[in-house]
Amino acid sequence: MEITVYGPLRSATGTKTVSLEFGGDTVAEAIDEFAETHPRAAQYLYDNGELRPSVRVSVDGERAALEDPVSDDASLALVPAVQGGS
């Protein structure tokens, strides 16, 4: 699985796109596995063990829900909310 990351996730991975050996079934499982392999990314994705509602996920270019099925050859994009400005 290829995962493209944006915003602060890029600093947590050191690159824009990472490969992930994925053996799960759902988008949520893919994100959990990504966070396990890139622990610095978890702070941008989770609050109190729950995925932040502001995190946007797409699978093969289409918006995806956490419970949606995902294959190991899919392309995921993770976009955490970016805050700033006043």
pLDDT at 83: 57
Q: Where are the chain's structural domains? A: 2-79
Q: Exposed e or buried b for every residue in 53-72, given b needs 16+ CB within 10 A?
A: eebebbbeeeebeeeeebee
pLDDT at 5: 97
Query: What is the DSSP code (8-state) at residue 66?
Result: T
| In the predicted structure, residue 85 carries a pLDDT above the cut 50 | no
Pairing of strands 2-5, 62-63: unpaired
| In the predicted structure, residue 86 carries a pLDDT above the cut 50 | no
DSSP character string of 4-56: EE-TTHHHHHSSSEEE-----SBHHHHHHHHHHHSGGGHHHHEETTEE-TT-E
Tens digit of each residue's pLDDT (9 = 90 or more) over 4-44: 999 999 999 999 999 999 989 999 999 999 999 999 999 99
Q: What is the mean pLDDT of the chain?
A: 91
Tens digit of each residue's pLDDT (9 = 90 or more) over 68-79: 999 999 999 999
pLDDT at 32: 95
- Sign, CA dihedral 38-39-43-46, equals positive
CATH code matching the domain that covers 2-79, chosen among 3.10.20.30, 3.10.20.90, 1.10.3720.10, 2.60.120.10: 3.10.20.30
Instruction: Look up residue 62 and give its two tokens.
Output: 């289409």
